[in-house]
Amino acid sequence: MQTPFEFDLPPYLQQCQDAVDTRLEYWLIEQPSISQNLAEAMRYATFNGGKRVRPILVFAAAEALGANKNQAVDAACALEMVHAYSLVHDDLPAMDNDDLRRGKPTCHIAFDEATAILAGDSLQCFAFEVLTESDLPAMTDNIKLAMIRTLAKASGTIGMAGGQALDLASEGKQLTLEELETVHRHKTGCLIRASVAMGGMIAQGNEQQMHALDEYADAIGLAFQVQDDILDIISDTETLGKQQGADIALNKATYPNILGLDAAKLLAQDLNHKAQNALTSFDEKALPLRALANYIVSRSH
Amino acid sequence: MQTPFEFDLPPYLQQCQDAVDTRLEYWLIEQPSISQNLAEAMRYATFNGGKRVRPILVFAAAEALGANKNQAVDAACALEMVHAYSLVHDDLPAMDNDDLRRGKPTCHIAFDEATAILAGDSLQCFAFEVLTESDLPAMTDNIKLAMIRTLAKASGTIGMAGGQALDLASEGKQLTLEELETVHRHKTGCLIRASVAMGGMIAQGNEQQMHALDEYADAIGLAFQVQDDILDIISDTETLGKQQGADIALNKATYPNILGLDAAKLLAQDLNHKAQNALTSFDEKALPLRALANYIVSRSH
């Protein structure tokens, strides 16, 4: 079998980004809105130079089980909308109070706080609207309903929003490794698992395949966060597109400050191995998933 | 046929409130959450002495077409969760900046702003989760999906959130009657129409019935807002449970200040007649809907 290192990831990432961006444009530009300002804020929040990690995971998981990007693109859009909404709300003054996101003014700076709150709210329910309204043949009613269930759970109080609440409550506290993992498994991990699961759903994966995908997703979800924490220390502001050292300034619990930088790097590698092992029963169609796991722990921003 | 005035509304309202509250307790208390604080904020926002107008409309519309409250209760819960989330976000300092809601501290005062934002976010996606997770036999997959589509559209940029954006943009401006109607048809009207429609869906209403219900809902949605504006002038703070005269203080466009108080009162009566006329083809099972329309334009808070 071809090793992940032989898979040419950058053109794959570009294809995924193009596929989801084209469809996001359809949903966010061609659909009507009664408030021009709100519609612009939603587009601003969505087309902000994001890496489209979640859509890429949807595509890669779908392709690992034999489906294609066209079939998975609305699930990818829904995931990216929920992700975009969460960033808009996280950046608000009452939350992380960030003025910059990927080197550009955050939504509440470019517009205003009220508009940013509403843009986030609207993006969240638009994600569910997209899943119900999708006219893609592969999106049967059963699959739509399963995806909505998965996305709703991953977004809410037992998922992303719950994780964000835990994260806010832990600011300034010294967390144990276990507590930090609980925060991240929810704050970012649940949506990453939902992405991979929804990719599997569109390909109608069987129970064993879905379980393997979930193991993979759980590992890369944590790996992503560990690497984020590492980059906050070792990268510079320009490469990151946000303030380097922000976590330290906020006295946030991070993997490097609990484990030390070297052990955090080892943990990231370890999680990558776990992710690779979860895919043992998959064939070469899972190469993008494998290469993504490598990318997550080796990226510089 | 019995006239609406012979229908004893208060016990009916109580039955509806009890039915939805019991089920909301199931969803919001018995379901797990990883953040105790977030779960408490969600409950605080939901169990706040609200009149449960939207759930009551779900029940009354379902019953008008021969279904019962048990069949409609999860749709009622979903609507109330979206309504509760919208109030929490509307009350935020960046939006209407209200400290009191029904005589009690608003969510961001009782908790904090970040928690209020997250509680609203979580209640929104919990509404969709409830619709997918409902184990009520009447909630078939088809009906679930139709309800999710209806609720998502009613909540988002072509619905409630869009209306709220228009409302914020119109502060301090002199609106025409038509512009004011556009604000209210979206800000409050869309969710009221969704409530009545979702009641009709659970009873599997035919096209004609659904159309009649929608005409009814459109009229009472506007009537509700007209009466709200009237009460802001003629009621007192204690009866309202919020600051009397708040609209005037904020220089908000209202029906009384565009039309004059007397003409606004006539408009409310007119909309009630429209609502009653929409139900001409319905039998006595629509008495609760009829009585509700009367209640909306005669209520004192």
Interface probe, candidates A149, A150, A155, A157, chain B, greatest B C-beta count within 10 A: A157
| Distance, CA of A215 to CA of B185 (rounded, Å) | 47
Give the CATH number of the domain where residue B232 resides. Answer: 1.10.600.10
* pLDDT at residue A90, as a whole number: 96
Phi-psi region of B89 (alpha: psi -120 to 50; beta: other; left: phi over 0): alpha
- The structural domain count of chain B equals 1
Give residue A209's Cα distance to chain centre: 21
Of all residues in chain B, the percent with pLDDT exceeding 90 is 82
Mean pLDDT of chain B: 92
* pLDDT at residue B2, as a whole number: 47
User: Do B113 and A124 count as a contact with CB atoms less than 8 A apart?
Assistant: no
Contact indicator for B154, B190 with CB cutoff of 8 Å: yes
B76 in a structural domain: yes
Tell me what the mean pLDDT of segment B4-8 comes to: 73
First to last CA, chain A: 29
A7 in a structural domain: no
Contact indicator for B54, B79 with CB cutoff of 8 Å: yes
Alpha-carbon dihedral sign for residues A7, A8, A14, A19: negative
User: Do A156 and B125 count as a contact with CB atoms less than 8 A apart?
Assistant: yes
* pLDDT at residue A242, as a whole number: 60
| Distance, CA of A222 to CA of A210 (rounded, Å) | 18
Domain that holds residue B281: 4-291
User: Do A32 and B158 count as a contact with CB atoms less than 8 A apart?
Assistant: yes
Taking alpha carbons only, the member of B223, B204, B225, B231 closest to residue B274 is: B223
Taking alpha carbons only, the member of A129, A157, A165 closest to residue A144 is: A129
| Distance, CA of B199 to CA of B68 (rounded, Å) | 10
**Which residue of chain A comes nearest to B120, CA vs CA?**
A121
Say whether residue A142 is in contact with chain B using an 8 A CB cutoff. yes
User: Do B152 and A122 count as a contact with CB atoms less than 8 A apart?
Assistant: no
A8 in a structural domain: no
B192 in a structural domain: yes
B116 in a structural domain: yes
* pLDDT tens readout for residues B158-177: 999 999 999 999 888 889 99
User: Do A165 and B141 count as a contact with CB atoms less than 8 A apart?
Assistant: no
B30 in a structural domain: yes
* pLDDT tens readout for residues B239-263: 656 666 666 666 678 899 899 999 9
**Taking a contact as any Cβ pair under 8 Å apart, which residues of chain B between 110 and 139 contact chain A?**
112-115, 117-118, 120-122, 124-126, 128-129, 131-133
A34 contacts in chain B (CB < 8 Å): 157-158, 162-163, 165-166, 182, 186
Instruction: Name the minimum distance, in Å, from the CA of A234 to any CA of chain B.
Output: 30
A112 contacts in chain B (CB < 8 Å): 94
| Distance, CA of A66 to CA of A45 (rounded, Å) | 32
B153 contacts in chain A (CB < 8 Å): 129
* pLDDT tens readout for residues B50-65: 999 999 999 999 999 9
B296 in a structural domain: no
Contact indicator for B170, B179 with CB cutoff of 8 Å: yes
Contact indicator for A20, A73 with CB cutoff of 8 Å: yes
Tens-binned pLDDT, residue by residue, of chain A (301 aa): 445 557 999 999 999 999 999 999 999 987 777 899 999 999 999 998 899 999 999 999 999 999 999 999 999 999 999 999 999 999 999 999 999 998 999 999 999 999 999 999 999 999 999 999 999 999 999 999 999 999 999 999 999 999 999 999 988 888 999 999 999 999 999 999 999 999 999 999 999 999 999 999 999 999 999 999 999 888 765 565 666 666 666 667 889 989 999 999 999 999 999 999 999 999 999 999 999 999 999 887 7
* pLDDT tens readout for residues B213-239: 999 999 999 999 999 999 988 876 556
A59 token code pair: 């595509």
What is the ipTM, given to two decimal places? 0.93
B298 in a structural domain: no
| Distance, CA of A73 to CA of A141 (rounded, Å) | 16
Instruction: Name the minimum distance, in Å, from the CA of A95 to any CA of chain B.
Output: 5
